[in-house]
Chains A and B, each alone.
Chain A
Amino acid sequence: MQSKLNKYGYLFILPFFAVFLTFTVYPILLTFYYSFTSYSGFGDAAFIGMENYQRLLSDNYFWEAFYNTLYIWGINFGFQLGIALLLALLFSDIRLKMKGLSFFRAAFYLPNLITIASVALLFGILLGWHHGTINHLLLDLGLINEPINWLNNPTTARWSVALIGAWMWFGHTFIILMAGISGISSDYFEAALIDGANRFQMFLKITLPLLKPIMLYVLITSLIGGLQIFDLPMLLTDGRGAPQGSLNTMVLYLYNQAFKFNNYGYAAAIAYGLFIITVCFSLITFKAMYRKSVKGE
């Protein structure tokens, strides 16, 4: 009976694959083709071989965007993971028995739920130069003597974007780490407690090693997301990544090349450059984590 009905399988997966091929696979292939052309959005796409990729390799703006993207992601991830780990350490401590986990999780997660466009706009005016609330507050507290033009200096602009990102994401990372910790049997902790381990030993020797798969998940998803950062730099700057191109990220560069300058062919090559970089970084991360776990055993 079943074998006769197996042809239904094709029927059930047909809509998915029809849409998948048309709206996902075909665009990816078409983008690949365009990356070898000088397509400008109109007329014919002239085939120019590897020219776009050669240009990409020697394009200072692209490598600057690459550097900016990593810079911003690195600071962001450091703070995000650091805070989330400390929180996880605190809430998983069986001696402290901290209360209110569900309240704190919800409170810390809230910024992540808000549309990034709104967050960008909000911080855009909170960080304003002469009339920004943050400068007003710091002046009132006497911490600074004159207003800082946060978004007009490369260093403070990058740090601002990175810390806004950390502010948005630490709650999310905390939730995921806690989900991982709740899967660790409390027997381990109780046994360690009897053996007289202190909370840092327990965290280093039990929690962290057992959290490795979850940490890998956090790291990879954050990296892939971080390499594609677009909304914040786009809406916190003039759309081109000023000051001095310090907020020009890879996807922002791609967007501008395609939809501002009509360099579709070159933008397609940027997309594939970004893809190759993403794959490389993911592989390096996998390898590094895997090696460490082998050594640890």
Chain B
Amino acid sequence: MQPGKDNKQKIIKGFFYFLLTLLVVISFIPFYMMIINATRSNADILREGFTLIPGTAIVDNYHVLLEYMNLWRGFLNSLIVAVAVTVLSSYFSALTAFGFAIYKFKGSNFLFVTILVLMMVPGQLGLIGFYDIMRTFGFLDSYIPLIVPPIASTFTVFFLRQFLSSVLHSSLIEAARIDGAGEFKIFHKIGIPMMMPAISTMAIFAFIGSWNNYILPLVVLFSPEKYTLPVMMGALRGSQVAQNLGAMYLGIAISVVPIMIAFVFLSKYIISSISAGAVKE
């Protein structure tokens, strides 16, 4: 290749890398400002305005913040709910998908099609009825409305069933039966390991979905000590802390930074899950 064309190609590529870097900066700068401002005192932020250099008030901000709200409690609550949702939705979706894929029973097609149709219904449609039923059962202000419904995750069942029909060898199951294994044992020893790649894909979505869920916990939880992190963040906005910008930034940072750290380790896994989820569709 002639050197002139080579150089031109290099310049074009350099320009594109510059644009990409700019986009990375745009993706990160709000978080960077959050961390910087979390270390500055309220007076400093009001007086000095914009700066890229950290301050020294992080400990003071932390004390101001914790005086009003225990964000770590919200963190723990969110973690409890998200782990429970992930485990329950993974296990029962796998069980349901296995039931649909392995056994031929009357009405199975009809029931599966029902799942497909209702998969399209947006989540807010039944909110009013859901709230009313939870109140009738006395489940309000508990984690039951957040943890139990994900047992019936329509998309996860659909995804796992599709996956299972592409990897399943019925001879394996027949062999296990001849060896005297019960149906549930077969599910646990053969079904779950077989579905594991797809289960972990869906588990990531279940966890992220639960962790970020805002409207449902906002509606069903009343006691501040039961608040999940997003609801606590909402409450932070209307509290005394909002008077102190440094403490406010620190509160937001506490809710964000652990997720960023987790993402550094899990990003490959999460991104391949999103890709798989879209292409399998």
- For window 180-226 of B, CB contacts with A under 8 Å fall at 183, 187, 208, 211-212, 214-215, 219
Q: How far is the CA of A1 from the CA of B23 in the complex (A)?
A: 60
Q: Is the pair B151, A11 in contact by a Cβ cutoff of 8 Å?
A: no
Residues of B within 8 A of A9 (CB): 99-100, 102-105, 108
Q: Is the pair B128, A108 in contact by a Cβ cutoff of 8 Å?
A: no
Q: What 0/1 pattern do residues 68 to 108 of B give for CB contact below 8 A with A?
A: 00000000000000000000000011011011101111001
Q: Is the pair B256, A118 in contact by a Cβ cutoff of 8 Å?
A: yes
Q: Is the pair A228, B124 in contact by a Cβ cutoff of 8 Å?
A: yes
The contact of A228 among B102, B122, B256, by CB within 8 Å, is: B122
Q: Is the pair A133, B24 in contact by a Cβ cutoff of 8 Å?
A: no
Q: How far is the CA of A115 from the CA of B214 in the complex (A)?
A: 9
Q: Is the pair A13, B99 in contact by a Cβ cutoff of 8 Å?
A: yes
Q: Does B270 interact with chain A (Cβ within 8 Å)?
A: yes
- For window 1-50 of A, CB contacts with B under 8 Å fall at 1-3, 5-13, 15-17, 19-20, 22-34, 41
Q: Is the pair B152, A19 in contact by a Cβ cutoff of 8 Å?
A: yes
Please report whether the interface of chain A is mostly helix, strand, loop or mixed according to DSSP.
helix
Please report whether the interface of chain B is mostly helix, strand, loop or mixed according to DSSP.
helix
Q: What 0/1 pattern do residues 116 to 158 of A give for CB contact below 8 A with B?
A: 1110011111100001010011011000000000000000000
Q: Is the pair B281, A140 in contact by a Cβ cutoff of 8 Å?
A: no
Q: Does B57 interact with chain A (Cβ within 8 Å)?
A: no
Q: How many A-B residue pairs have CB under 8 A?
A: 284
The contact of A24 among B30, B149, B177, B233, by CB within 8 Å, is: B149
Residues of B within 8 A of A90 (CB): 16, 20
Q: Is the pair A34, B129 in contact by a Cβ cutoff of 8 Å?
A: yes
Residues of B within 8 A of A109 (CB): 267, 270-271, 274
Say which size band chain A's interface belongs to. 35 or more
| Interface residues of A, Cβ cutoff 8 Å to B | 1-3, 5-13, 15-17, 19-20, 22-34, 41, 83, 87, 90, 95-96, 98, 100, 102, 104-111, 113-118, 121-126, 131, 133, 136-137, 139-140, 167, 171-172, 175-176, 178-180, 182-183, 213-214, 217-218, 224, 227-228, 230-231, 234-235, 251, 254-255, 258-259, 264, 267-268, 271-272, 274-275, 278, 282
Interface pairs (20), CB distance under 8 Å: A2-B104, A9-B99, A15-B96, A20-B118, A28-B121, A30-B126, A31-B128, A31-B129, A96-B16, A98-B13, A108-B24, A111-B30, A115-B214, A122-B252, A133-B33, A179-B275, A214-B278, A251-B124, A271-B126, A275-B122
